[in-house]
Chain A
Amino acid sequence: MLIYLRKRIVSSALPLVVVIVGVFALARMTGNPASLYLPLNATQQMRDDFTARNGLDQPLLVQMADYFGGVFRLDFGQSLRTGQDAAAMALRAFPATLQLAATTMVLAVLLALVVGCWAALKPNGIADRISSFVSMAAASIPDFWLAIVGIWVFAITLGWLPTSGVSGASAWVLPIATLLLRPFGVLVQIVRGSMVSALSEPYIKLARSRGAGELRVVTHHALRNAAAPALTVAGDLTVGLVNGAVVVETIFGWPGIGKLMIDSILQRDFAVLQAAVLLTALAIFALNILIDMGYALLDARVRPVTVKA
């Protein structure tokens, strides 16, 4: 188990490093922030001072070494725009996104389990139709458009919900509904598919012939075996959820990490962008490890198999 985990950690850490280095290099290529932050009539002397003060005159490799050194000392530098600590800004925005993403994922998994099992038990029933409709919608409807339709119908026409902001429970409804569509649509098909194949296994027949009730058969016997594929996909979906979060946070004015990243890119705020990206990459990395652990706990066959494929 430990060897398996170590292998997974090493193989997941590589993307982490590549992403940080890549984003660092790309962010440096966006142009000199001096022209953005200093007044138009700034002298060359002032520009040089600004560049030197922020270490932008060093060779790229030195800047990167400084940056990585800073990361280990938990020092991400200051925001060029507000002068605040970049790590603090990213950490302050992080919980808002985390709450949004976690609520969405928990809801998506629960809903997908219920609807997926129901659909698997009764092919062509209501749940089956709902699940095919939702997964088709998930693959076809752009999330920003869904959010706008939601605002148009529920906020503007009906006036039930606020158009943006984080105040009160009603402000959560539209962002979560928008984010929910894609993971739910994919998961419900996965759960349904693996439940159908799990329900036709001999051990289900055995459980039934021993007099287990339908509910127990589903929850104790079939679901446990059907959960592994859903778990794997849930990991990929969470990465995709960050995509959705950027759009949703922009539309609904949600003060999360997605909005922070877009803002910092548009304002050439290197330090904040890197802190935010590093935090996101770390969160995805940690999540992948958690999913691998859960997977290994669920499915004994995975453990001895190495990543070699």
Chain B
Amino acid sequence: MQSSLTEPPAAEQLPADSRQPREHTKESKQDGKLGLFRLLLKDRFATASALILVVVGLTALIGPALMGDLATKQNLLFANKAPFTVAHGWEYFLGSDSLGRSMLARLVVASRTTLSVAVPAVAVALVIGSLWGVWAGYHRGWRENVSMRIADVIMSFPSLLLAVVVLYVFSPSAANIVLILALTRIPIYLRTARAESAELQSRTFVDAARTFGAKPSAIIVRHVIPVVLPTLLTLATLEFCYVMLAESSLSFLGIGIQPPDVSWGLMVSQGRQYLQTAWWLSIFPGVAIVVTTIAANVLAAWLRIATDPAQRWRLALPRKRLIARIPVKETQP
């Protein structure tokens, strides 16, 4: 293949380029992964966040199976039991709802619904938006202009309203929610990927590959995407929060997840009418949302520094000195 022939010289010609992906050989790749993991363990907050996300993910994966039919089993004798007591059994530790269903079990089951909307939505938007953006940025010209105009159009209208209208036209199934959330978030990746790739396509190592006759698609896949990927993955972590909040809002407004399915946002909405008598029905699912999004946010902030070769040294320092050394915290994109 042409591109694989041209690649090693292109990589060797520019050893000084800090943004040149180092992960060309197998060993350096593994080394980088291990180094990243070790860096993660050094940061208490980032480690805790990663742990929380792993726990939430595992809960969503295997939790519903462990809970069996607890989440749907009604027991009117135990209706609206207050939380934080095991007097009625462990399953009522987080209280029960107006039909006597265990809050704990419902939260666990809802975690799967919530994640099964948020994760695919982020993944779809990430893949489509990034590829599109990299392509537009690499080719410049009319492809870039048209893409940016489309992104402007989508971004200039309140996303929630767009989702409200679309979900009312098409039935609010989980697949439709994923699609509309992905659609409204594609411009974020599109813009970022376009900007990075437009800058990269004028760099020497891309020029070198071009001189050797590599096709645009090969250059994009082998030279541009590896460099842009860390930024986009960090962005995706951040976007995970946004998409989760958006799904919750839609479910809260009654046009997201529909009963008898249950998501955290829907639970907040259902508990709203019992706010005076059973506050835990609305508060606990909200806490679950907040804990998950904070964890993803902290991890994204850490990733942003850890995947940037120019800033990574900061994470190697002890935390106290680190704070003293960073005058400007990165602002959100």
Contact = CB atoms under 8 A, between A and B. Distances in A.
Co-complex (A, B) = yes
A242 interface: yes
Given A19-B157, A29-B169, A156-B276, A246 B286 contact: no
A277 interface: yes
Given A148-B268, A239-B157, A247 B253 contact: yes
Interface string A212-255: 00000000000000000000000010011011001100100000
A178 B297 CA distance: 20
Contacts of B331: 189-190, 192-193
Interface in A291-307: none
Interface stretch (A51-59, A82-90, A136-144): A136-144
Given A144-B268, A152-B275, A240-B158, A23 B165 contact: yes
B329 A189 contact: yes
B156 A19 contact: yes
B164 A196 contact: no
B156 A152 contact: no
A149 B283 contact: yes
Interface in A123-171: 123-124, 132, 135-136, 139-145, 148-149, 151-152, 156
A281 interface: yes
Interface in B14-32: none
A141 B290 contact: yes
B323 A124 contact: yes
Interface residues of B, number: 49
B102 interface: no
A144 B252 contact: yes
B159 interface: yes
Interface string B148-187: 1100110111111100111011000000000000000000
Contacts, number: 138
B169 A142 contact: no
B306 interface: no
A149 B286 contact: yes
Contact of A239 (B158, B245, B282, B286): B158
B208 to A, nearest CB: 26
B180 to A, nearest CB: 11
A247 B158 contact: no
A114 B149 CA distance: 35
B157 A26 contact: no
Interface string B248-271: 110011000000000001001100
B241 interface: yes
A152 B245 contact: no
Contacts of B276: 156
Contact of A145 (B279, B290, B327): B290
Interface string B228-253: 00000000001001100100110011
Contact of B156 (A15, A145, A149, A192): A15
Interface string B305-333: 00000000000000000011001111110
A16 B157 CA distance: 9
12 contacts: A26-B166, A30-B168, A140-B294, A142-B249, A148-B268, A190-B331, A243-B160, A247-B249, A266-B168, A280-B161, A281-B157, A284-B157
Given A15-B156, A265-B164, A280-B158, 13 more contacts: A27-B165, A124-B324, A139-B332, A140-B241, A140-B297, A144-B268, A151-B275, A156-B276, A242-B158, A243-B161, A246-B164, A250-B253, A280-B161
Interface of A: 11-12, 14-16, 18-19, 23, 26-27, 29-30, 123-124, 132, 135-136, 139-145, 148-149, 151-152, 156, 186, 189-190, 192-193, 196-197, 236, 239-240, 242-243, 246-247, 250, 261-262, 265-266, 273, 277, 280-281, 284, 288, 309
